[in-house]
Each structure stands twice: as structure tokens, then as C-alpha cells.
């Protein structure tokens, strides 16, 4: 039988129940933290920077080390001595180590690791590590980072634009000049993540100089990063033995970025002289694990009168965070070949600028580049329809690559393998009930309700070409570095001594059911029941067959991995056929495998049991046919031919297979609250041949829920000082059962001619299509052009418009407030106010200048020691409600103009993070007393900012209120009949 496009019947294509489930359902899953650790394994906790940008002056772990149960502390000095900076795809003199060595560049950046008997003890010790920082100006917004005069995050790099590449295909200038219409839009895509419920886990050991490092981690690949880790650790790849556990609690790209922690824990283990286990906690994960890139795109389209697009111009900025961390800038280049999406557009110009900011480094997040590209492109399609007065479906139909055009070479190099886009659109409209939705929209609008319908059409790439990252280099640089290409997939099928079949694949799944599908595939080829196939997806880099492309990402399983597995099974089958043929008295090509037996074509009654025949070579190799070697183990490395390196003119086929998704979303927006309700969501998928329909639907539902989250509620929020404010799952909100409706799922199959089974990946489609589809629906409902994700209800309400009528008596006498922030965007804490104190200005001023009196004024002050003229060091406990922290603070009085005004500044650091504030205090005689005016600005960073955002403002005011209450008391004010605190709060505009 020939290998290649095998249309085996039977198990593949069956909605088979999963073999993974029994173990998981009875609680016997083996996730990385469930596996026993070697006796003597210690536990690590990471000390992380509370600042977004600062020089790291000194790390003093002596007090931490003195705690019982603490074994070691690893610092930047060790890292510098034992490792090299991580290599990255763009040659830059930027240094990224697994610990900050002289500068911290994002809140949460690891600064030291404490290793102790238990995690709790390690955390106790982390609180006692003394770190000296010298604050630097943070650069948070992309535009600010990209500006000419922006402070450079990496002085050696010079600019915060780590890469600036332009591309040109066809003749876009002429197309724009000739086009009757030019439509332009600028959109942003927020930073977010798919946040698996299981966080990172690393258990590392330095075995010996000869045996190197041994690691168990829920790393998901791509295993090209193994090289990055080994090079950083300065060991040969074979001396970094990386193993993955049997089960992983979700990844969606996110567990690619555990690799710096693998290096970090290897070093921690080395320093401690013992194996070390690190289980990342949720706060760490949200702050510092990874993020999708934030994107700013200006997209221009040259459009004919009928809506046909003749050229596109993308001007894109990607916010990759504080370090260009491998494989970035892959978010740009993963999609590069198919930037024109589902459309036949021959002219394209692109400018990609990679921007460094003081935020968490970016990495793989499901969809990886697709959500960002399609947010711009699919918003553009809607805008074209609106601005030209066309039916959006006509715009789609006129622009789609036509069914006869496949395989279709897109302008930037993608070779779209197969598809029928108009058919998918038609199916979605018909089976999704689009006409009914139109009727609902009409009815709703007649009643004055806000109802909208949006679409998205996306080409879903799968099986990444490992050479795509080199597109970021110029052709000259690529020529020098040598070509990179391909997407190797590896699989092994073997028969054991009892005739049992085992399959090994290089995909490291985290819930996708790969073992089940693998069993189906092998069972089909060998004529067995899938239950008889044992599949192992655990990886051991020292023992298993793998390549740089191994891992589970870019939806490579269905196309590449399953394909390679099929080929390996076929090899084993062909060998068994050769062995069986003489016994069955026929030619090898006449041997059939079915029902657990082998028989000659046409003679099923004379069959040999599979087990006996296949175990034979183990026991009696001498009886094999001449020339046949005894091994019954086939390992296949497969790579799609179509994945060549980028060409001289920067064309690159970035993926091997391209599926298609067409979505329709109908929403109703509540006029009163701005809440978005999805009335119906239709998603039509073409992923080539479906290997297991139940699992395929499962992937679609999961991706849809994540896309919905990105559209409506997920964003990593940063303050203007770079403080991170989404540190809990109550702040970073992901959809629950009450937010995710059931989508209508429709399938069609145009098999890929390029993969062995004709299958394409389908795991990422809705991550790419859903956010923009929902945005389009909301834009349609509100009739707006400018929709920005996430479309939280305050944002939507602002788009609808809110009247904010003045109160009857004019606004309550309130101190002039700070400018209103953008909905949902955080700003620095500011407080302005007035307080009346029953003491004359001089008395108040004297209190401020008297350290003993001042010590009683500052809330929770235990000790105040002079540290210079009008400067003090203080030990201050600050708390509101349940929360309390002890700060090591520095306080300074400056700009002294007695008795009228002064400036009061303070900064403090505690295990909760840091706080800085400065305010002017003005004293004015008022009757017998003083009117004190203050104008205070504070920044709070670190843990309390990450988890307490909702209440920080209020807490700051409470602390200030305490301060001024005390000031009044100290200056000799008598308490009035109304408690002073109440009076002060009233004046601060807080209470009635």
C-alpha cells in the first residue's frame, strides 16, 4: 500500500471517547506537582521586583539565610557567573538573564531565589531579603517607548525599538494612487493571556558535572527553546535533560515561557546542592509569566468602488515588554505570510516595529499573532462596508480567494493549501440562521434597542515553519546566518515482546486528547482497537526522538504530528506485512490488517493473530525473512515540503496548512448598563480532515470562550508608573459558565494536500476570529467606528454616551479633582484637599519640623530617626481593614517656607511592595486656626497594587486622613464634639 494521502476508514473521524479521561476523572492525573520528588528536594520562592524600572544596586540575603530551614539564596551575581544571557532571534546587545543582574525592567522581574525546606519557609525568607534599588523613569505606553527622547530600557541597545522592518510585495504605491477609495483605521489589541488553571512547575537538579542538569517541567515547547536554555546554562544539549509530566493543566502557548525559570531553578539547585522544586503561584503567574503582545496597528486599504481591496498597508507596533524573549518577535512573523488573510490581494506593504516597554515580556498565547492581525483586518472589512455603503457579505465574497485558486500563493508568501471560503460563508449564513438574526435586528432597532451583527473571516495557519522567525532579519543577514526552515514532527511506533503496540509522539499535550487521536490513527493502520494502543506523550530530551519543532503549539498536532505518526504506523505495518506474507502465502501488498488479525486479501478465514505474529521477531529473530532486520520500531521525522526558508524578497510560507473560519455574531447591548449579551454566535470551521469530531468541537468551544474573554473582559492593566494591577483572578477576569453561551458550530472539510492525513490544525481559530467578530457586532449595534478591547460595560457605556447632569445645588464642595481617567485605565493616586485645624499655622508648622512630634503624626510610626537635615528614616505600619504592612520608609521635608508651606515626601518599601508620595502642604490662617491645603501624589507598586487596585485610592485617602488627624492633635487642636476623624473625612469630601 502506498503511504501518503491515506484515507483509512474506521477509527479516525470517530467521535471517540478519550482514553485520558478515566484517570483524570478519578483524581489520578499526574500533573507536575503531583509527582513525588526525590527525598531532600527543597522548595524555591522568587523575590521579585516591585518596581517597573530601577537600577539594582545590592541584594543582601544574610538575614534571610539566617532563618531556620533556609538553605541558599541565588542572586544575579551567581547568574552572571554561571550562565550567559538568553539568545534571541534579533541580534541585539540586549542582555536578558534569568535573574535581574543590574537593572530591573518590569514589575515582577525575578531578583533572587530563596531555597528552603518548604515553600512557606522560603516565602518567609524572601521577605527578609534586603534589596537596594535606584528608581529609573519607567516607560509604559508603546507610543512613549517608541518616542525619540524616551529613556532607553537597554542602554546598550540605545533605542526601545528593537527591530524596525519594512516589507513590500507587488506595487502597493500604485494601487493606492489608483484606488477610488482609501480606508484607514488605527486599532489596538490589549495585552492578555490564556491563563491556564495550572501554573508553571519546575523541579530541577544538578546531578553532576558529567550528568548535567535534570529537569521535570510542564513546558510545552517549542523545543527550539531547549537550545536557548542549554546555551544559557553553558551545557551541551544532552546535559540538559528535560522531561515533561504525563499531564499538564492547560497551556495554550503560555507554558512556552517557563523556560527562563527552568534555567533559574537549575541554578538554584546547583547553588543549594539539592534538587529544587518551584510551583509558581497565581500572583506570580499573572504578574510575570507571559503575555500576548499588545499591538498598535494602522491599517490602510486601497479599495475599488465595489469593495475589492487592491492593496493593504500595515504599520504595526508590538509591545513585547521589557526583554525581547525568544521566540519573539515571532508574534509578528508567525502570521507574516498570510497577512492578507482570506483575501486575494496582490499588493502589500508592511512595517513592523518591535517596542520594548517596562512590562512583562511577551510570548506564545493561543492564536499567537492571529488575534492581533485579524483585529485590524476584520475591523477594516466592516469599515469598508460601512464607508462604501456595501453589504459586508458582498465585500467578503468579492475579496475571498476563490475555490479554484488553491494552492494559492499569498502576496507575502503563504501557500494556502485548500479551502472554499464562499461555501463556508454560505454555510454559516444558512445553518446559523442569519436571516433570522437580520429580522431580530430590525425588530430590535424599531424598538430602540441596541442590536448588532458582526462577522469575521480568518485563515487559521497551523504547523509553523520554524524558519519564519528569520523573516525579521534582512535577506543579507539571513544569507550570513544560513537558512532555517521546516517543521519537523517526530513519532515512533513500536511493538513489544507480547505483541503490544506503543506510540510515542513529540507533542506534549495539555488536554487536547492527543493520546486518544493517536490511538485512533495507529489502530486504523494496524487493524486494532484503539484501546489496545498505548500512547505516551511524555518527553525526555535525552531518550526520545525530537527536533527543534517538538512541542504543542501552532496547532501542529493534527497536521504534522498525527501525520508523522500515521507514517510511522505504516512503516511498522509494511514490515509486518513483509514478515507475514510468506506465512500467508501471498505478496506483502496483499496482506490486510483488520479485527486484530492479519490475512491475505480475499482469504479472511486463514488469519494470523496480530499479537503472536508481531511479537515473533522478539523471540525468534532468526525466523525473519532474509534481509529483514529484527527491529519492530519505526521512528519517522516528517516535514512538509512546502516550508522553505524565506526567499530573497522576504516571501515566506509561514505555515504548512491553513484552515478557515467564518463567524457570525449577534449581540444586544443594554442601554442602561452597557453590558453586551451575545444573542447568537455562529462559527463555521474548515480544518481539512477532522480526526475526532468531539475533540474538534471541544477545541472550538474552548477557543471561543477565550476569544470571548479577550473581547469583553480580559486585559493586563498597568499604572502610569508601570505598576501591575491585575494580580488576582478577581482582577484579571476570565469568563465563567454565566458568560459563555453555547456557540453554533458548523463543519466543512477541504482536506489539505500537504499533510499525510489531510488534516489541518484547528485549535487557535476562535482565538483569532471571536474577539474581532464580537467587536464588529458591538460596533454595528452602536454605530461606532472606534471599539477598543476589552469591551467592558463601562467602556461600552462610554461609547453609547452617558448624560451626567449636575446636581441641583451644584457639585458638593469638593477639592478640585484630578482629571477623569479613561474608562478602566488606572492612574496615579492623587489627593487634594483642605483641612481645618484648631491651631495657628506656626504651631502646625512647628509640629512638622519637630521629629518627636512628627513621629506621632505619621500613622503607625514606630520609630523615626534623623537621616540628615529634615530627612528621616521611619518604621511605619500602615493598614486599612484586614490589610496591614510594615514599611521601611524615608521621609523628607523640603521647599520650606515657614510658616506658609513645605513639601512632604515619603517613600517606603515593604514585602507588599513600594510606595512613593510627595505633596505640597500650604498653611493659611483661618480664624483662630489654620486651613491646611494639601496636593498629594502617590504611586503604589508591587503586590498591594497588583491585588488591591479596587481599593487603593480609598486606602490612600484613609492613610492621609489619619495623618492629618494626627497632625491636628499634635498641633494642639482640641477634639470637637464631632470626632476629628469624621470632620476631616467630611472636608476631604468623603462623608456626608
Partner 1 sequence: MRTLDGGDREYIVIHLNGKARTGACDSRTLLVDFLRHELGATGTHVGCEHGVCGACTVLVEGVAVRSCLMLAAQAEDLRVDTVEGLARAEGLEAVMNDLQAAFKRHHALQCGFCTPGILMTCSDFLARVPDPTEQQVRETLSGHLCRCTGYTNIVRAVLETARARLARHSRGDTGNA
Partner 2 sequence: MKPPVFDYRRCESADEALALLAEYGEDARVLAGGQSLMAVLNMRLAQPRVLVDISRVAGLAYVRAESGALAIGASATQAAVEWRATLADEVPLLALAFPNISHFQIRNRGTVCGSVAHADPSAELPLALAALGGKVRLRSRKGRREMAADEFFQGMLTTARRHDELVEEVRYPLHRAGNRYAFAEVSRRHGDFAIVACAAVAGEREVRLAVGGVADRPRVLSLPRLPARELESAINDFAWELDAQDDPHATAVYRRHLVRRLGQRVIEEAAR
Residues 723-752, interacting with partner 1 (CB under 8 A) = 728-730, 734, 736-738, 740, 742-743
Comparing CA positions, the residue from 398, 462, 457, 379 lying closest to residue 683 is: 457
Alpha-carbon dihedral sign for residues 286, 289, 292, 293: positive
> Does 882 engage in binding with partner 1 (CB under 8 A)?
no
Given its phi and psi angles, is residue 514 left (phi above 0), alpha (psi -120 to 50 degrees) or beta?
Answer: alpha
Backbone angles phi, psi at 579, to 5 degrees: -70, -40
CA gap 64, 67 in Å, rounded = 6
Q: Smaller CB distance to partner 1: residue 244 or 970?
A: 244
Q: According to CB under 8 A, which one of 383, 943, 969, 983 is a site residue for partner 2?
A: 943
**Per-position x/- string for 87-126, each x denoting binding to partner 2 as judged by CB under 8 A, each - no binding:** -------------------------------xxx--xx--
Partner from partner 2, partner 1, none contacting 824, C-beta within 5 to 8 A by type: partner 2
C-beta separation of 635 from 572 below 8 A: no
Partner from partner 1, partner 2, none contacting 235, C-beta within 5 to 8 A by type: none
Q: According to CB under 8 A, which one of 465, 642, 750, 793 is a site residue for partner 2?
A: 793
**Per-position x/- string for 507-546, each x denoting binding to partner 1 as judged by CB under 8 A, each - no binding:** ---xxxx---------------------------------
In the complex, least distance from residue 624 CB atom to partner 1, rounded to whole angstroms: 38
C-beta separation of 372 from 67 below 8 A: no
Backbone angles phi, psi at 468, to 5 degrees: -65, -30
CA 248 to chain CA mean position, Å: 17
CA distances for 16 relative to 602, 691, 747, 882, angstroms: 30, 10, 17, 51
> Does 807 engage in binding with partner 2 (CB under 8 A)?
yes
**All three cell numbers of 946:** 497588583
Alpha-carbon dihedral sign for residues 467, 251, 254, 698: positive
CA gap 401, 398 in Å, rounded = 9
Q: Identify residues 119-138 at the interface with partner 1 (CB under 8 A).
A: 120
Partner from partner 1, partner 2, none contacting 698, C-beta within 5 to 8 A by type: partner 1
Q: Smaller CB distance to partner 1: residue 461 or 513?
A: 513
> Does 804 engage in binding with partner 2 (CB under 8 A)?
yes
**What's the distance, Cα to Cα, between the start and end of the chain in Å?**
86
Q: According to CB under 8 A, which one of 355, 932, 952, 971 is a site residue for partner 2?
A: 952
> Does 879 engage in binding with partner 2 (CB under 8 A)?
yes
Q: Identify residues 713-742 at the interface with partner 2 (CB under 8 A).
A: 713, 717, 725-726, 728, 730-731, 733, 735-739
Using the 8-state DSSP alphabet, how is residue 837 labeled?
A: E
How many residues touch partner 2 under the rule CB under 8 A: the total is 75
Backbone angles phi, psi at 716, to 5 degrees: -85, 120
Q: According to CB under 8 A, which one of 7, 445, 813, 884 is a site residue for partner 2?
A: 884
> Does 147 engage in binding with partner 2 (CB under 8 A)?
no
Q: According to CB under 8 A, which one of 109, 198, 506, 721 is a site residue for partner 1?
A: 198
Q: Smaller CB distance to partner 1: residue 45 or 393?
A: 45
Q: Smaller CB distance to partner 1: residue 21 or 897?
A: 21
CA 962 to chain CA mean position, Å: 41
CA distances for 692 relative to 461, 517, 553, angstroms: 19, 7, 19
CA gap 389, 399 in Å, rounded = 16
Backbone angles phi, psi at 386, to 5 degrees: -65, -50
Given its phi and psi angles, is residue 221 left (phi above 0), alpha (psi -120 to 50 degrees) or beta?
Answer: left
Stretch that binds partner 2, among 143-151, 360-368, 409-417, 818-826 (CB under 8 A): 818-826
In the complex, least distance from residue 21 CB atom to partner 1, rounded to whole angstroms: 4
> Does 992 engage in binding with partner 2 (CB under 8 A)?
yes
> Does 196 engage in binding with partner 1 (CB under 8 A)?
yes
Partner from partner 1, partner 2, none contacting 882, C-beta within 5 to 8 A by type: partner 2
**All three cell numbers of 25:** 476523572
> Does 55 engage in binding with partner 2 (CB under 8 A)?
no
In the complex, least distance from residue 963 CB atom to partner 2, rounded to whole angstroms: 15
CA gap 206, 209 in Å, rounded = 8
Partner from partner 2, partner 1, none contacting 869, C-beta within 5 to 8 A by type: none
Q: Where are the beta strands (DSSP E) in 322-465?
A: 347-356, 408-409, 415-416, 450-464
Alpha-carbon dihedral sign for residues 846, 851, 853, 854: positive
Stretch that binds partner 1, among 190-198, 602-610, 749-757, 825-833 (CB under 8 A): 190-198
Stretch that binds partner 1, among 696-704, 747-755, 772-780, 794-802 (CB under 8 A): 696-704
> Does 809 engage in binding with partner 2 (CB under 8 A)?
yes
CA gap 887, 985 in Å, rounded = 24
Coil, strand or helix: which one is 674?
A: coil
Q: Smaller CB distance to partner 1: residue 245 or 973?
A: 245
In the complex, least distance from residue 156 CB atom to partner 1, rounded to whole angstroms: 38
Q: According to CB under 8 A, which one of 161, 235, 594, 694 is a site residue for partner 1?
A: 694
**All three cell numbers of 953:** 485610592
C-beta separation of 223 from 548 below 8 A: yes
Question: What pairing do the DSSP bridges indicate for beta strands 603-609 and 633-638?
Answer: unpaired
SS3 of 826-873: CCCEEEEEEEEECCCHHHHHHHHHCHHHHHHHCCCEEEEEEEECCEEE
In the complex, least distance from residue 807 CB atom to partner 2, rounded to whole angstroms: 4
> Does 677 engage in binding with partner 2 (CB under 8 A)?
no
C-beta separation of 79 from 103 below 8 A: no
Q: Identify residues 282-341 at the interface with partner 2 (CB under 8 A).
A: 282-283
Q: Smaller CB distance to partner 2: residue 26 or 802?
A: 802
> Does 85 engage in binding with partner 1 (CB under 8 A)?
no
Using the 8-state DSSP alphabet, how is residue 152 labeled?
A: P
Comparing CA positions, the residue from 488, 512, 501 lying closest to residue 639 is: 488
Q: Identify residues 909-928 at the interface with partner 2 (CB under 8 A).
A: 911-912
Q: Smaller CB distance to partner 1: residue 514 or 838?
A: 514
Q: Identify residues 264-323 at the interface with partner 1 (CB under 8 A).
A: 279, 281-282
Give the interface with partner 1 as residue ranges (CB under 8 A). Answer: 17-18, 20-22, 24-29, 31, 33-34, 120, 194-199, 247-250, 252, 279, 281-282, 510-513, 694-695, 697-698, 700-706, 728-730, 734, 736-738, 740, 742-743
Amino acid at each position: 500500500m502506498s503511504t501518503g494521502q491515506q484515507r483509512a476508514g474506521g477509527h479516525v473521524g470517530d467521535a471517540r471517547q478519550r482514553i485520558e479521561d478515566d484517570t483524570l476523572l478519578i483524581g489520578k492525573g499526574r500533573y507536575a506537582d503531583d509527582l513525588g520528588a526525590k527525598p531532600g528536594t527543597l522548595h524555591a520562592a522568587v523575590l521579585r521586583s516591585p518596581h517597573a524600572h530601577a537600577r539594582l544596586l545590592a541584594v543582601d540575603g544574610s538575614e534571610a539565610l539566617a532563618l531556620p530551614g533556609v538553605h541558599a539564596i541565588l542572586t544575579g551575581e551567581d547568574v552572571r557567573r554561571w550562565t550567559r544571557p538568553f539568545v534571541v532571534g534579533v541580534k541585539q546587545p540586549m542582555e536578558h538573564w534569568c535573574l535581574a543582574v543590574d537593572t530591573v525592567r518590569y514589575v515582577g522581574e525575578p531578583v533572587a531565589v530563596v531555597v528552603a525546606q518548604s515553600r512557606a519557609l522560603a516565602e518567609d525568607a524572601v521577605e527578609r531579603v534586603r534589596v537596594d534599588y535606584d528608581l529609573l523613569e519607567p516607560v509604559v505606553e508603546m507610543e512613549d517607548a517608541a518616542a525619540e527622547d524616551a529613556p532607553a530600557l537597554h542602554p546598550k541597545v540605545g533605542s526601545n525599538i528593537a527591530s524596525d522592518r519594512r516589507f513590500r510585495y507587488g506595487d502597493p504605491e500604485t494601487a493606492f494612487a489608483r484606488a477610488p477609495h482609501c480606508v484607514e483605521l488605527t486599532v489596538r489589541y490589549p495585552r492578555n493571556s490564556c491563563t491556564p488553571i495550572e501554573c508553571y512547575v519546575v523541579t530541577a537538579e544538578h546531578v553532576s558535572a558529567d550528568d548535567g542538569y535534570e529537569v521535570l517541567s510542564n513546558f510545552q515547547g517549542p523545543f527550539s527553546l531547549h537550545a536557548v536554555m542549554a546555551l544559557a546554562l553553558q551545557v551541551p544539549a544532552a546535559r540538559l535533560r528535560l522531561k515533561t509530566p504525563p499531564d499538564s493543566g492547560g497551556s495554550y502557548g503560555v507554558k512556552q515561557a517557563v523556560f527562563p525559570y527552568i534555567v533559574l531553578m537549575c541554578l538554584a539547585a546547583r547553588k543549594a546542592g539539592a534538587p529544587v522544586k518551584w510551583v509558581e503561584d497565581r500572583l506570580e503567574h499573572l504578574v510575570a509569566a507571559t503575555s500576548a503582545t499588545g499591538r498598535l496597528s494602522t491599517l490602510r486599504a486601497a479599495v475599488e468602488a465595489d469593495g475589492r481591496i487592491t492593496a493593504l498597508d500595515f504599520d504595526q507596533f508590538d509591545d513585547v515588554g521589557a526583554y525581547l524573549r525568544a521566540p519573539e518577535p515571532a508574534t509578528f512573523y508567525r502570521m507574516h505570510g498570510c497577512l492578507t488573510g482570506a483575501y486575494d490581494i496582490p499588493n502589500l506593504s508592511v512595517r513592523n516595529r518591535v517596542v520594548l516597554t517596562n512590562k512583562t515580556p511577551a510570548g506564545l498565547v493561543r492564536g499567537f499573532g492571529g488575534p492581533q492581525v485579524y483585529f485590524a483586518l476584520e475591523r477594516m472589512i466592516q469599515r469598508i462596508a460601512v464607508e462604501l455603503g456595501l453589504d459586508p457579505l458582498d465585500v467578503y465574497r468579492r475579496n475571498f480567494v476563490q475555490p479554484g485558486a488553491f494552492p494559492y500563493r499569498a502576496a507575502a508568501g503563504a501557500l494556502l493549501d485548500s479551502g472554499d471560503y464562499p461555501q463556508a460563508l454560505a454555510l454559516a449564513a444558512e445553518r446559523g440562521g442569519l436571516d433570522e438574526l437580520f429580522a431580530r435586528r430590525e425588530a430590535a432597532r424599531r424598538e430602540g434597542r441596541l442590536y448588532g451583527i458582526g462577522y469575521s473571516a480568518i485563515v487559521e495557519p497551523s504547523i509553523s515553519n520554524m524558519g519564519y522567525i528569520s523573516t525579521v532579519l534582512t535577506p543579507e543577514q539571513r544569507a550570513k546566518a544560513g537558512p532555517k526552515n521546516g517543521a519537523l514532527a517526530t513519532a515512533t511506533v513500536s511493538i513489544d515482546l507480547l505483541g503490544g503496540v506503543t506510540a510515542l509522539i513529540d507533542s506534549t499535550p495539555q488536554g487536547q486528547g492527543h493520546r486518544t487521536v493517536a490511538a485512533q490513527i495507529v489502530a486504523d493502520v494496524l487493524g486494532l482497537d484503539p484501546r489496545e494502543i498505548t500512547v505516551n506523550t511524555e518527553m525526555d530530551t535525552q531518550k526520545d526522538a525530537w527536533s527543534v519543532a517538538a512541542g504543542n503549539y501552532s496547532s501542529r498536532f493534527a497536521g504534522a504530528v498525527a501525520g508523522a505518526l500515521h507514517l510511522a504506523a505504516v512503516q511498522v505495518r509494511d514490515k509486518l506485512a513483509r514478515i507475514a506474507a510468506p506465512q500467508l502465502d501471498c505478496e506483502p501488498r496483499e496482506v490486510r490488517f483488520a479485527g486484530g488479525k492479519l490475512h491475505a486479501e480475499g482469504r479472511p478465514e486463514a488469519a494470523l493473530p496480530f499479537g503472536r505474529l508481531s511479537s515473533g521477531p522478539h523471540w525468534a529473530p532468526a525466523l525473519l525473512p532474509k534481509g529483514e532486520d529484527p527491529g519492530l520500531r519505526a521512528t519517522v521525522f516528517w516535514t512538509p515540503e512546502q516550508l522553505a526558508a524565506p526567499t530573497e524578497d522576504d516571501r515566506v510560507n509561514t505555515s504548512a496548512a491553513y484552515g478557515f473560519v467564518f463567524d457570525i455574531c449577534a449581540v444586544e447591548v443594554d442601554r442602561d448598563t452597557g453590558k453586551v449579551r451575545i444573542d447568537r454566535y455562529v462559527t463555521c470551521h474548515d480544518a481539512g480532515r477532522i480526526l475526532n469530531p468531539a475533540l474538534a468541537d471541544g477545541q472550538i468551544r474552548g477557543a471561543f470562550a477565550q476569544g470571548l474573554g479577550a473581547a469583553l473582559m480580559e486585559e493586563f492593566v498597568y499604572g502610569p508608573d508601570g505598576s501591575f494591577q491585575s494580580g488576582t483572578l478577581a482582577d484579571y477576569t476570565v469568563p465563567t459558565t454565566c458568560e459563555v453561551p453555547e456557540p453554533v458550530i458548523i463543519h466543512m472539510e477541504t482536506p489539505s494536500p500537504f499533510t499525510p492525513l489531510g488534516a489541518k490544525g484547528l485549535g487557535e481559530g476562535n482565538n483569532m476570529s471571536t474577539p474581532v467578530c464580537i467587536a464588529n457586532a458591538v460596533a454595528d449595534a452602536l454605530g461606532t467606528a472606534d471599539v477598543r478591547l476589552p469591551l467592558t460595560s463601562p467602556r461600552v457605556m462610554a461609547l453609547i454616551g452617558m448624560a451626567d447632569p449636575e446636581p441641583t445645588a451644584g457639585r458638593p464642595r469638593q477639592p478640585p479633582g484630578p482629571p477623569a481617567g479613561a474608562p478602566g485605565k488606572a492612574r496615579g493616586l492623587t489627593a487634594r484637599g483642605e483641612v481645618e485645624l484648631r491651631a495657628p499655622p506656626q504651631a502646625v508648622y512647628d509640629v512638622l519640623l519637630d521629629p518627636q512630634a512628627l513621629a506621632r503624626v505619621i500613622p503607625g510610626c514606630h520609630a523615626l530617626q534623623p537621616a540628615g537635615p529634615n530627612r528621616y528614616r521611619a518604621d511605619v505600619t500602615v493598614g486599612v481593614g484586614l490589610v496591614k504592612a510594615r514599611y521601611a520608609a524615608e521621609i523628607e521635608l523640603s521647599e520650606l517656607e515657614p510658616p506658609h508651606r513645605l513639601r512632604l515626601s515619603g517613600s517606603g518599601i515593604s514585602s507588599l511592595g513600594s510606595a512613593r508620595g510627595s505633596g505640597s502642604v500650604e498653611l493659611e490662617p483661618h480664624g483662630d486656626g489654620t486651613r491646611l491645603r494639601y496636593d498629594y501624589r502617590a504611586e503604589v507598586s508591587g503586590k498591594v497594587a497588583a491585588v488591591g487596585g479596587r481599593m487603593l485610592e480609598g486606602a490612600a485617602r484613609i492613610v492621609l486622613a489619619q495623618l492629618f488627624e494626627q497632625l491636628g492633635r499634635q498641633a494642639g487642636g482640641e477634639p470637637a464634639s464631632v470626632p476629628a476623624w469624621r470632620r476631616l473625612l467630611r472636608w476631604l469630601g468623603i462623608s456626608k
